[in-house]
Every structure is written in C-alpha cells, then in structure tokens.
Amino acid sequence: MDLIQKIKKSGLVGRGGAGFPTWKKWEMVKNAPDKEKYVICNLSEGEPGIKKDKYILDNYLKILIEGIELAMKNVGAQRAIIVLKDEYFDQMADIVIEHIGKEKIEIFRKSGGYISGEETALLEAIEGQRIEPRAKPPYPTTDGLWHYPTLINNAETLYSVALIAHGKYKNERLISISGDCLHLGTFSVPENFTIKQVLEISQNIMNYDYFVQVGGGASGTVLNKNQLNRPLIGMGAIIVHRRSITKVGDLALKWARFFRDESCGKCVPCREGTYRICEILESENPNWDMLYDIFDTMEKTSFCAMGIMVSTPFKSLIENVLT
C-alpha cells in the first residue's frame, strides 16, 4: 500500500483547522500535470492560545522534516518551504537549518500577522506580494506558489504523516491547554475524545465554575462547563476561563481588537465590520441589535474565512455563558 492510501486509511485530516482529508489534498497535487510542484509546511500558528506546532519544533523536529520529505517524494515536488512566524524564526531558525542540511528545503520568515497564516495569503507573502487572501477557485493544489501545484499542510499534519509511514500513528492529535487551569501545556489525546475527556486526561477538571474557548483564543467557540461532552473542534486549543475572575466584557473587547488589528483590509465587510464591533463594545451602552446585524453581514459577505468566523466567539459567549 502506498503512503497516500495509508493516509486515507488512517482517516487523517488537516490539523490547521479546516479538517480537509489529507490524502485527498496530496492526491490532487500528485495528479496535477505540471512538472514543477511545491510543498509548504505552515508553521505560522497565529491563533492565540495555540502552541502545538511549537511543541513539535521543540520535540519532534526530525520527524517533522521526514514528513516534509515524504510529502515531496509522494506528490512529486522539487522544493519545500517551512514557514516560521517571527517568534519561531528567532528561536529556531538555526536549529531547523541544521536539520534540513542541503536538502531542497528552505525556511521562510512569515510576517503579516494573523491573516498570513491563511494558505493563499501565505502564498502571496512568499511571492512578495501584498499579504491578503486569493480568490478560490483555483485552489493551491493546482494553482499555488508561482501558479504551480502546491501542497500546503500544517506542521502537525506532516508530523502525523511521518508516524503513519512508520506504523506509529495512533489516531491522536495535539491539544494546547491554557488559561485558568491546573496543568498547562500540550497534550496528545485520541482524536475522538470529547472536550471533557481531554480535560480529564490532562487533570484539568476544576471544582470552580468556568467556561472554555475551544479551537483558538480568538475565533474559538465558547462553551460552558455543561457543554463539554462535545467533540474536539478547530485548530487544537482549549482555553479555560474562571467565571469569578473573568471580565467577559474585557474578554470580548480583546477579541474585537485582535480581529480589527489583524484584518488585512481587502474586503469592506471585514475591514469596516471589525472596526464597528470594537466601536460598539467600547461604548457605554452597546447596541446589541446593530452588533448582530454586523455579524450577519460579515458571515454572508466577507471574502475569506476570517471575516466569516469573527462572530463565532461573540455569539457563543452570549448564548452559552451570558444567557
């Protein structure tokens, strides 16, 4: 059985948040007729609260490099690029270079903030263009870096592929746990675990009242402690907030300012919407009807996933914690 079929049998999906079947993306790039192809390992990790890819860098860099090499071999790529955000580049660039040696793998220092982690904005960044998302289709699998077929995978995805190749993959994923909890860190847990089971196995079931944000510290969904029997979602983070010490208004405003500052400004709904959300939440008497109107407009008309998902933390906080 070839590696792509092994990946298919494993059920591995992308660990960058979208959950697209990994084997299918690999097959698309492999079957593209172009002779020149690329592999990109996305290690931008711009969502607050997520440190799982840094955990791989620190502990399993050799396995990650092997996953990249396997990707190149199996999709027919001649070159690969490891994208490191500024913080990781400063800390790890020399070590990564030592591991890749003279292979056809290079590293790229990612700037441009949160949006440059989106796969097509990442392509624009590498090409030296204005950092903003591209229209899709066409997709990177057929029209990616320099318009050649490009496989873009999260670091954890490529790490998992190397485990699959050696028969060591256990259908687990990495979860970063932070916030008002007992044991912070990154944990490997079965993929089918519920949020409650993840908190149990990491010894983070607290006896005080709390709520969690799952998937990330900005775009993640907010759930109360009676909603934890749900499956894991998103990019691999659980952030715990203790009710008695958390000022939910400040928390919501922190999200709003994050999205306002990180919007690339390409489309009006996101550019203006994030600004107006901040304006409303900063006022003494927030207009909740107007806030929901903005959410609705952004969900329906934003150019990329960032604008579409902005409403998620606010709506879930209101519905699951405040009502």
Q: Which CATH class is domain 172-242?
A: alpha beta
Nearest to 236 by CA among 19, 11, 10, 9: 19
Q: pLDDT at position 76, please?
A: 97
CATH number of 3-165: 3.40.50.11540
pLDDT at 1 over 90: no
Predicted local confidence at residue 164, as pLDDT? 98
Q: What angle do CA 117, 10, 169 make, to 5 degrees?
A: 80
Specify the domain boundaries for CATH 3.40.50.11540 within the chain: 3-165
Concatenated DSSP letters for 204-259? Answer: ---SS-EEEEES-SSSPEEEETTS-SSBP-TTSEEEEEETTT--HHHHHHHHHHHH
Q: Look at residue 103 and tell me whether its pLDDT is greater than 70.
A: no
Establish whether the linkage from the previous residue to 138 is cis, with ω within 30° of 0.
Answer: yes
Q: Cβ contacts of residue 213 below 8 Å, gap of 6+? A: 49, 220, 221, 222, 223, 237, 238, 239, 241, 313
Tell me the pLDDT of the chain averaged across its residues: 94
Pairing of β 172-179 and β 237-242: parallel
Predicted local distance difference test score (pLDDT) of residue 183: 95
State the greatest distance between any 2 C-alpha atoms of the chain, in Å, as a whole number. Answer: 63
Q: Would you say residue 17 has pLDDT above 80?
A: no
Q: What is the pLDDT of residue 69?
A: 96
Which residues in the chain are classed under CATH 1.20.1440.230? 252-322
Domain 252-322 has CATH 1.20.1440.230: yes
Enumerate the CATH 3.10.20.600 domain ranges in the chain, comma separated. Answer: 172-242
What is the tens place of the pLDDT at every residue in 124-172? 999 999 999 999 999 999 999 999 999 999 999 999 999 999 999 999 9
Whole-Å CA distances, 146 to 24, 41, 163, 165, 210: 22, 16, 30, 30, 47
Mean pLDDT of 22-30: 97
Separation between Cα atoms, residue 114 and residue 121, nearest integer Å? 10
